Structure 1
Amino acid sequence: MFVGTDGSKFYGEKMLHLINGVKMDMAVINEVVKKGDTEIWRITNGAHTTHPFHIHDIQFQILDREQGDGSDATPPSENERGWKDTVLLLPEETVRVIAKFDHYADTQYPYMYHCHILEHEDEGMMGQFLVVEPKDYDRVISNIDNHKRIPLQSFCKVS
């Protein structure tokens, strides 16, 4: 469901339930976020089925929804305007959410994001992220194996 500037996607077609074309690997940290940062995540469902997308540790607000047909983004409906930890993504839909990352997560206890359909989770439609102190960010990034790390170019820094 993530779409990055490189065109990668989180999708579930042909019984492959993956993020950016990759099955979840418990030994891989997919993203690192600085504690205290606010980020906008662009989450795209490239599949033909609906996926409830859940992010551990944070609550977010939905900024807008955009259909795959290229129509203009629309604001969230009234029932979606509160704080969330799960968002329902319709087929071929992109949703932008904004969240502040206030809680620390280290490599032994990373947070996850995933489709909340159990069978899809079991098939690998999940990823992991760390929330680290800003002073530790460069060190943590340098210690991650670049051959295993999957950059999700879907994050946009918000000032």
Structure 2
Amino acid sequence: MQLLLLLLLLLLLLLLLLLLLLLLLLLLLLLLLLLLLLLLLMQLLLLLLLLLLLLLLLLLLLLLLLLLLLLLLLLLLILLLLLLLLLLLLLLLLLLLLLLLLLLLLLLQLLLLLLLLLLLLLLLLLLLLLLLLLLLLLLLLLLMLLLLMLIILLLLILLIPLTLSY
């Protein structure tokens, strides 16, 4: 009987040990499952991080493209401004050329006026010279007349005594 009790006790102990072992195995399996779940979560987190990084990279690429487009637009604006400035300079040069042409025309007109004035002055001088020559001729004629009159007078003076002497 005691032997039977001992055997039963041993069996109970063995069963308890087996139960403990099973519990330990179950705990180990649970731990492994938790670890696997953690690994899966880590992988999911890594995937999420990778996706976030890809999204950030895409956003940075988009920003870079936008900046490049803005730079191109600024370059186009600068080119347009340069073209406008060149056009304004060309217009200014054309206006200056027109102004120079007008000034040249005015100068030519002034020169023509000066030539006309000079011609008028020369004409006046010629008229004055002609008048002076006419005056001189008149004076000469007067002098000649006076001389003739003097000669006639002298002849008369000379002839009177001769006629008186006859």
Judge same fold: TM > 0.5, yes or no.
no
TM-score, normalised with respect to structure 1:
0.09
TM-score, normalised with respect to structure 2:
0.08
Question: Relative CO higher for 1 or 2, CA cutoff 8 Å, sep ≥ 6?
Answer: 1
More helix by share: 2
More strand by share: 1
State the structure with more CA Rg: 2
